[in-house]
Amino acid sequence: MLVERQPRLRWGKGKNSKQIKALFVNEAEVEAEMLLTGLEYLSGLREILNREQVNKLEAQGIFLSHF
C-alpha cells in the first residue's frame, strides 16, 4: 500500500492543532509503511538467496535470520 505524502504545513499561517496532528500522523504512517516494506523485502531475500549470498550480507551486518 502506497501512501501519498502530503505537503508540509508552514508554521505561523493560522493552522489549527487538528491539521498539525493530522500531518504528524500521516508522516508516521508513511514511515511505518516504509519500514514494513523494507522488512518484507529482507524476509523475501532470505528465501531466494543461496547460502554464500546470505553470508556476504551477514558479513556486512545485514542478518536475514532476524526477519
Rounded Cα distance between 3 and 43, Å, is: 22
Provide the domain limits for residue 27.
17-66
12 assigned to some structural domain: no
pTM: 0.59
What separation in angstroms does the CA of 8 have from each of 21, 24, 59? 12, 10, 39
Which pLDDT score, from 0 to 100, does residue 47 have?
87
26 assigned to some structural domain: yes
Rounded Cα distance between 14 and 62, Å, is: 46
Q: Which residue has the higher pLDDT, 54 or 15?
A: 54
Which pLDDT score, from 0 to 100, does residue 25 have?
95
Which pLDDT score, from 0 to 100, does residue 16 have?
82
6 assigned to some structural domain: no
Q: Which residue has the higher pLDDT, 61 or 1?
A: 61
Short-list 26, 5, 28, 30, CA closest to 18: 26
Q: What is the pLDDT of residues 8-50, one digit of tens each?
A: 656 666 668 888 899 899 999 999 999 999 989 988 888 899 9
Rounded Cα distance between 63 and 30, Å, is: 25
1 assigned to some structural domain: no
Question: How many structural domains comprise the chain?
Answer: 1
